[in-house]
Chain A
């Protein structure tokens, strides 16, 4: 569709047929992909008999009963553990990652590329690489089923990503600003707190949201390093596998609640999502 033809169409006040066609096709595809999420929400708003009926119930009076059931039951502690693990590790990523990103972006050391390469390579080290020794260490230190130990492990998952992302945001700050601050005699910490942090506040927010996405949904370490007191939201869902009896509505309500923080974070950080997923390579 050329610009001229589009203008001609606009003049005639009619929609180009190809645009309508592709819109319909596009929405069909999106519907197929979004449908399991929609279905999860619908199931969550049903009663148990409606959720496990054959043929499936399409028309029903929505009820929040299952959400209330999940929230008043044993779900909240799992949710709180997830919050502690993700927020705690995100905070640590920022505390450790911001100075490192600053060093790599603003005052590059000799082998900056190598250091960056090293950080990112640890992101791609499979969990198989360090799982067994970390487990033995946690066991010997009595840190199994400890939510702070889990947060410490999550920090290593996100630290390389945090360093790369924060660096990519820092590179966008005009260099003159740092030079001016240094002439004024600002030390490293002053520079960091008074200039860097305010300037890349949006970048810090985006990095935090990306870190949240990766830690909130994490399952492998959670299932192996926690059992009861420190168990996180994904582990609450495991209790539905054994499935004695049918609790589809409750299951859907729990799945909806467990997924909610990351869904919201991802939608809010949509513009930064690609950047976060590609370590800042694609903007």
Chain B
């Protein structure tokens, strides 16, 4: 009797341990990637938070001192940080707004009955693929240069011949180059949305007497809206981090006119070696990005669910 019970107990235990073994076997393939990501992103981030409470300049020996919230209070009072936050917001919002509108227009063109769609799309994505540093240099030296650039030459009849775009309108120049780069990105995502549309619905609307604008507003736009949102959110996560084109075009200047948060971080950390202050900027950047990313991820998941329901 007791022997049977013992055997039963052993069987139960081995079933439980098998289940546990199975659960671990399922998790095992995840571990290398998981550990890697934690080691290279999460632990450094924890250190960034830690450093942000210290005053520490790499150029001064023994300068590592606890500073409490001093780095953060300086964030609130420092003029250049406020400028950088403002520049980041202006840059991100204008680039995203303009490239979404242009991207929607180009995507609509490529989704209509035109000749050479494939080639148009291929050429259209080129600005997104060109190395950003290379693209910025080409714009700066061969297109916008007031003496030898093509654009001032073309604009001479309009009285804009000798405008030094980079120095006189630095933010507009950066926005232009970034819009050039991000419009193809928006176009690709919105085009995918347009192509998922059932053309028969539009036909039916036309039969019912809707004009092209009404059909676009009432039928197409609601359908591609999640795609526009996704493009705008993913795009802003990238554009918030704009560094390459600012470095190449304006180096944050003139003055601080085009210094955004990433560029300021670069200046504080690698030109000023002010580790504590740079860390505080990093923490604020993370908070700002997390807000955008949370919304972006929600959109991403809602699209996944729509795809899954199909």
Interface residues of A (CB under 8 A from B): 1-3, 6, 16, 18-19, 22-23, 25-27, 29-30, 33-34, 36-37, 39-40, 43, 51-56, 95-97, 99-100, 102-104, 107-110, 115, 117-122, 124-137, 152-153, 155-156, 159-160, 163, 188, 213, 216-217, 219-220, 223-224, 233-234, 237-238, 240-241, 243, 246, 248, 251-252, 254-256, 258-259, 262-263, 265-267, 270, 273-274, 277-279, 281-283
Contacts and interface: CB of A to CB of B under 8 A. Distances in A.
22 contacts: A19-B114, A22-B113, A26-B110, A33-B123, A33-B126, A53-B148, A54-B148, A56-B150, A102-B29, A108-B26, A115-B34, A124-B292, A124-B297, A135-B269, A219-B247, A255-B131, A266-B125, A266-B128, A267-B129, A274-B192, A277-B185, A281-B300
A125 B130 contact: no
Contact of A56 (B116, B153, B281): B153
B147 A132 contact: no
A278 B189 contact: yes
B282 A132 contact: yes
B252 to A, nearest CB: 13
Contacts of A27: 116, 120
A121 to B, nearest CB: 7
Contact of A223 (B34, B135, B184, B247): B247
A112 B141 CA distance: 50
Contacts of A273: 125, 188
A136 B184 CA distance: 37
Interface residues of B, number: 102
Given A109-B30, A119-B37, A121-B293, A262 B129 contact: yes
A129 B123 contact: no
Interface string B104-147: 01100110111110001111111111111111011101110001
Contacts of B227: 282
Contacts of B148: 52-54, 56, 246, 248
A66 B29 CA distance: 49
B40 A234 contact: no
Contact of B40 (A152, A217, A240): A152
A137 B40 CA distance: 11
A37 B137 contact: no
Nearest to B132: A217
A273 B189 CA distance: 10
A125 B103 CA distance: 26
B297 A107 contact: no
Given A109-B23, A283-B192, A237 B269 contact: no
A137 B109 CA distance: 50
A118 B285 CA distance: 19
Interface in B27-67: 27-30, 32-34, 36-37, 40-45, 47-48, 51
A52 B147 CA distance: 9
A23 B29 contact: no
Nearest to A256: B134
Contacts of B296: 124
Contacts of B123: 30, 33-34
A119 B183 CA distance: 27
Nearest to A273: B188
A222 B143 CA distance: 26
Contact of A3 (B142, B153, B203, B307): B203
A259 B127 contact: no
Contact of B269 (A119, A132, A152, A270): A132
A234 B243 CA distance: 13
A132 B129 contact: no
By Cβ-Cβ distance, the 7 closest A-B pairs, closest first, are A99-B29, A130-B44, A255-B134, A133-B47, A266-B129, A128-B285, A100-B33
A224 to B, nearest CB: 6
B175 interface: no
Interface stretch (B3-11, B215-223, B260-268): B260-268
A125 B134 contact: no
Interface string B178-193: 0010011100110111
A103 B25 CA distance: 9
Nearest to A192: B29
Contacts of A134: 40, 44
Contacts of A108: 26
Contact of B137 (A22, A137, A241, A266): A241
A129 B41 contact: yes
B79 to A, nearest CB: 20
Contact of A126 (B138, B188, B289, B307): B289
A256 B244 CA distance: 17
Contact of B109 (A26, A160, A267): A26
Contacts of B304: 281
Given A96-B32, A102-B29, A104-B30, A270 B125 contact: yes
* Of A16, A124, A254, most B-chain CB atoms within 10 Å: A124
Contacts of A246: 148
B297 A120 contact: yes
